[in-house]
Amino acid sequence: MKNSLYKILLAAVLGLSTIAPIATFAYYNTSTQVETSTSNLETKLLETIDADNMYNTIKHLSKTPRVAGSLQEAVAVQYIRKQFESYGYTTQVQVFTFDNYIEPHTIQLALDGFTQAMKPLAFEYSVDGEVSAEIISAGLGTVDEIKSLNLTGKIALMQRGDISFKEKIMNVTTKGAVGVIIYNNADGSILGSLGEENDTSVPAVLLTKTEGEALENHITKNPGKIAALQIKGAKTQNNTSHNVIATKKPSNLKKVSTNEVEKHDIIVIGSHHDSVKGAPGANDNASGTSITLELARVLKNVPSDTEIRFITFGAEEMGLIGSAHYVENLSDNDISRIVANFNLDMVGSNDAGDLILQTADNKSNFVIELAQEASTKLNGKPTPFNQGNNSDHVSFANVGIPAALFIHNPVEPWYHKPEDTVDKISKEKLQDVAEIISLSVWNQIHIDQYAQ
């Protein structure tokens, strides 16, 4: 009886392979004899990885930039979904919204009698506005420091430090200020953010330390002079982005009744599919996306006791937004069962350095252990790891899930540039990373005796 079951399973696997390009392993044995050894299956799995597939995915995706919220991102999402589905997966597209700040085209600050040139910068989320008013020095802008000042109808000049930009602005606007200038407390210019859109805010700009100190001097010597502050063209857009999720359930999954929770482990293999503006993002990160898709293809029919979720995230470049949204919406049970997050970001450039793993806390974890065991077996030495928190693994690490980034270090000169194109992609690098991850996952998930 078992024998005929194996034949049906085998026929199903092989049959499917004629209509979809999925892995064609004979995962079967008999009750008396293991017909295909584990090491053979492992070899077959690695041999099935096809660098041309990954290269073609990158070629397709990197025809245009894929900025989160753009039409091109939505088109890429449909392509990724169709690819997963062609391998036999059912997919889920998780939609989410995020705010995107458009910088002003005009920022001006002028003061009667003050001739020194100034290059005021807007904060992220600075609002538009045009005010003419006297500038008053408000120190660091703490509640204590400004309590005896009359700021009504005035522009408050403050130094960076002690409290956040947002708090400084809130403190002075509460006392009636109509504009804000904050200058650096160290040399060089700074980029600042107010954190979020705020309709009730006033125009606010940043100056360097030199500019700010000169301005302080000038207003002390020339009190009562009127300054003009103008910000034009800033706006906050509400955009929509997507995560694409394909799930491989454990092959030996027993039906759970409605009031029972699932107990099996989960592995998340993920990469972001969005790019920055103006960059076609062949390496950042069509490369990671292409490996995620290829791993989904080759692992599809591996008999496993673990669930695998293959996910491409949107809006990583806007601040890890897609992965944060995904993690926020996980149940506690899901979080406790995710044993590893493999994050692939910038994994195919000819012009970058060697493969490195990065963890948010600079400590080894289960993903590092799996990857180092696999890389030692494949390449004779473990892939090294160090600290890094610039990609989606951080969203998983933040809730205690073992997570690591796979990236080549140092990064290529075309990072976030229009030159990040498919002609600079290395098939060997794609193959190497795909092999390390598939072996890592295989070692963790495979079950030798199918349908016992």
**What residues line the site for Zn ion (CB under 5 A)?**
284-285, 345
Q: Is 391 in the site for ligand BES (CB under 6 A)?
A: yes
Q: How far apart are CA 25 and CA 302, in angstroms?
A: 8
**184 versus 285: smaller Cβ distance to ligand BES:** 285
Min CB(206)–ligand BES separation in Å: 20
Residue 321 CB, nearest approach to ligand BES (Å): 9
Check residue 284 for interaction with ligand BES (CB under 6 A): yes
Q: Is 320 in the site for ligand BES (CB under 6 A)?
A: yes
Interface with ligand BES, residue 345, by CB under 6 A: yes
Q: For 202-359, where are the E strands, in sequence order?
A: 204-207, 226-232, 235-248, 266-272, 307-313, 338-344, 354-359
Report the candidate in 257, 136, 122 with the shortest Cα–Cα distance to residue 192: 122
Cβ-closest residue to ligand BES? 390
- Residue 412 as a binder of ligand BES (CB under 6 A): the answer is no
Tokens linked to 176: 């009636």
Residue 390 in contact with ligand BES, rule: CB under 6 A: yes
User: Does residue 319 bind ligand BES (CB under 6 A)?
Assistant: yes
Q: Does 73 participate in binding ligand BES (rule CB under 6 A)? A: no
d(CA 124, CA 147) in angstroms, rounded, equals: 27
Stretch that binds ligand BES, among 134-142, 329-337, 387-395, 424-432 (CB under 6 A): 387-395
Which amino acid, residue 100?
N
36 versus 350: smaller Cβ distance to Zn ion: 350
The residue (of 273 and 309) whose beta carbon lies closer to Zn ion is 273
Interatomic CA distance for residues 62 and 7, integer angstroms = 42
Are 211 and 163 in contact by the 8 Å Cβ rule? The answer is: no
Considering the complex, state which of residue 399 and residue 411 has its C-beta at the smaller distance from ligand BES.
Answer: 411
Nearer CB in complex with ligand BES: 231/352: 352
Token code pair at residue 366: 């289960």
Q: Is 350 near ligand BES (CB under 6 A)?
A: no
**DSSP code, position 278:** T
Most distant CA pair in the chain, distance: 98
Residue 404 near residue 437, CB atoms below 8 Å: no
| Binding of ligand BES by 316 (CB under 6 A) | yes
Between CA 250 and CA 47, with CA 443 as vertex, the angle to 5 degrees is: 95
Does residue 280 bind ligand BES (CB under 6 A)?
no
407 near ligand BES, rule: CB under 6 A:
yes
Question: Could you tell me the smallest distance in angstroms from the CB atom of residue 170 to ligand BES?
Answer: 26
Number of residues near ligand BES (by CB under 6 A): 13
Nearer to Zn ion, 284 or 435 (CB): 284
Comparing CB distances to Zn ion, the nearer of 212 and 288 is 288
Can you give the three-state secondary structure of 2-22, one letter per residue? Answer: HHHHHHHHHHHHHHHHHHCCC
- Main-chain dihedrals φ then ψ at residue 144, nearest 5 degrees: -60, -45
Q: Which is nearer to Zn ion, 138 or 318 (CB)?
A: 318
Considering the complex, state which of residue 69 and residue 120 has its C-beta at the smaller distance from Zn ion.
69
Residue 290's region, left for phi above 0, alpha for psi from -120 to 50, else beta, is alpha
CB 112 within 8 A of CB 134: no
Q: Compute the distance between CA of residue 218 and CA of residue 411 in angstroms, rounded to an integer.
A: 46
Q: Is-contact 129 228, C-beta < 8 A?
A: no
Closest separation in Å from C-beta 284 to ligand BES: 5
Half-sphere exposure of 392 (CA within 13 A, CB side): 35
Find the binder of ligand BES among 58, 135, 298, 346 (CB under 6 A): 346
Residue 274 CB, nearest distance to ligand BES (Å)?
8
> Is residue 295 involved in binding ligand BES (CB under 6 A)?
no
Q: Is 424 one of the binding residues for ligand BES (CB under 6 A)?
A: no
Cβ at position 307, least distance to ligand BES in Å: 27
Distance CA 200, CA 192 (A): 18
List interacting residues with ligand BES (CB under 6 A): 284-285, 316-317, 319-320, 345-346, 388, 390-391, 407, 411
